[in-house]
């Protein structure tokens, strides 16, 4: 019997019988772990020296029982042999790249991915003689042409941020394997509920657990899932760098994961209905949502995803000021970054992540002044659509003060 993902979000990775017969996994709020005597410590150190697996722990930077439960659960959900929990999604990204890239190597990154990831690759890693090439997503010829003798890995994101492009993972993997490269996929927008990149051949999958996995806008964490060998290398690097997740955050994440399948299913439905509403509104120029037939990657998304997520990006037929009035007129979602939580969030992209760029510079990378990213929460879809409708009406009929 292989339970469905919704059942596994509740039970996977957890011991049936927990300490003191508790129903939920406890928080092991400790920075260190003690030994019975010197013989006990010597036996542990000998096991470590010989590379033997052990559930025994020594120090909080090297592991924690609450953290280990979350890692086992997410390894199960993503179909990996092992997983490693980090202090944030960016910590998962940066430690991974620092582990598998060395001076003189080359990495390929697809465009329209998270801005901070691109910055780390193109502005930080170059200081350490790591070369990088950014290629258009879905352009196989550009990808093939970018591969060099010193290329080590391809890093992609799917769906992407903010235009929700969808990578053809099997095709990306085929190109990478033919050239002996690793494939790493940031699947934060999809979650294991909507997409499992490892099952499509990817070597490693990364999530910002801050988003859908946590689900309540109250924690920061990241996760990497893959083979036991790759996660083992990451664990060694993490122990040196120290980008660990604390046990209380792990407990909050474990709690959030219990309802992941239910939340994502609701947000999938809401996202699709909102996207359809916006697509039919005369004040909306364009909608970016892979569940719509007009999206450039709709066929790919339909083939490899179980759902299309709760983030909808769209451009109004408006200027910067009118778009701002629309965002300000919304009554349900909060204005702010992030996505995937119970509360809806909205942001005018030109005034958030790309604020320091001029309008011309933003346009050159596809960020228009009227681009809005809406992350639906657990609202009733009729309420949310009504709110969008009134905000659009107010934005285009109210003169600026």
Q: What is the DSSP string of 100-144?
A: H--TT-EEEEESSS-HHHHHIIIIIGGGGT-EEEEE-TT-HHHHH
CA distances in angstroms from 133 to 145, 289, 297, listed in the order given: 10, 26, 22
Return the structure tokens found at 152.
Answer: 């080590």
Return the structure tokens found at 256.
Answer: 């959030």
Strand-pair partners of 91: none
Nearest to 72 by CA among 191, 231, 306, 261: 231
Exposure class string for 336-369: b at 16+ Cβ within 10 A, else e: eeebbbebbbbbbbbeebbeeeeeeebeeeebbb
Edge-first strand order for the sheet with 182-186 is: 82-86, 222-226, 204-208, 182-186, 151-157, 106-110, 131-135
Place of tokens 């790309």: 354
* Cα torsion 244, 85, 378, 186: sign: positive
Packing angle of the helix pair 65-78, 247-257 (nearest 10 deg): 40
Return the structure tokens found at 85.
Answer: 């929990």
Residues belonging to the active site: 61, 114, 186, 211
């Amino acid at each position: 019997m292989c339970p469905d993902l919704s059942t596994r979000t509740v039970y996977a990775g957890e011991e049936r019988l927990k300490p003191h017969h508790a129903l939920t996994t406890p928080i092991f709020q400790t920075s260190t772990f003690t030994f019975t005597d010197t013989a006990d410590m010597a036996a542990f150190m000998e096991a470590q020296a010989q590379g033997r697996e052990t559930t025994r722990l020594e120090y909080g930077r090297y592991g924690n029982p609450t953290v280990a439960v979350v890692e086992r659960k997410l390894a199960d959900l993503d179909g990996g042999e092992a997983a490693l929990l980090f202090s944030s999604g960016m910590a998962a990204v940066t430690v991974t790249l620092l582990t598998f890239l060395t001076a003189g190597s080359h990495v390929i990154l697809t465009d329209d991915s998270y801005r901070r990831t691109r910055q780390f690759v193109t502005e930080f890693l170059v200081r350490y003689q790591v070369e990088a090439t950014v290629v258009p997503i879905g352009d196989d010829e550009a990808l093939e042409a970018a591969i060099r003798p010193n290329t080590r890995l391809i890093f992609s994101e799917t769906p992407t941020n903010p235009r929700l492009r969808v990578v053809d993972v099997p095709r990306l993997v085929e190109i990478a394997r033919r050239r002996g490269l690793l494939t790493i996929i940031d699947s934060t927008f999809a979650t294991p509920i909507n997409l499992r990149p490892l099952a499509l051949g990817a070597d490693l999958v990364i999530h910002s657990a801050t988003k859908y996995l946590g689900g309540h806008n109250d924690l920061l964490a990241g996760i990497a899932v893959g083979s036991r060998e790759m996660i083992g290398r990451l664990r060694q690097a993490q122990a040196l760098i120290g980008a660990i997740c604390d046990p209380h955050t792990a407990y909050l994440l474990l709690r959030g994961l219990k309802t992941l399948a239910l939340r994502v299913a609701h947000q999938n439905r809401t996202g699709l209905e909102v996207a359809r509403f916006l697509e039919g509104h005369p004040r909306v120029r364009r909608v970016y949502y892979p569940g719509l037939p007009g999206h450039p990657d709709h066929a790919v998304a339909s083939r490899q995803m179980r759902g299309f997520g709760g983030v909808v990006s769209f451009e109004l037929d408006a200027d910067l000021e009118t778009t701002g009035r629309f965002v300000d007129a919304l009554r349900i979602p909060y204005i702010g970054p992030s996505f995937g939580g119970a509360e809806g969030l909205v942001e005018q992209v030109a005034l958030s992540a790309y604020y320091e760029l001029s309008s011309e510079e933003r346009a050159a990378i596809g960020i228009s002044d009227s681009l809005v990213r809406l992350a639906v929460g657990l609202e009733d879809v009729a309420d949310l659509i009504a709110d969008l409708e009134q905000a659009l009406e107010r934005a285009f009929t109210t003169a600026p003060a």
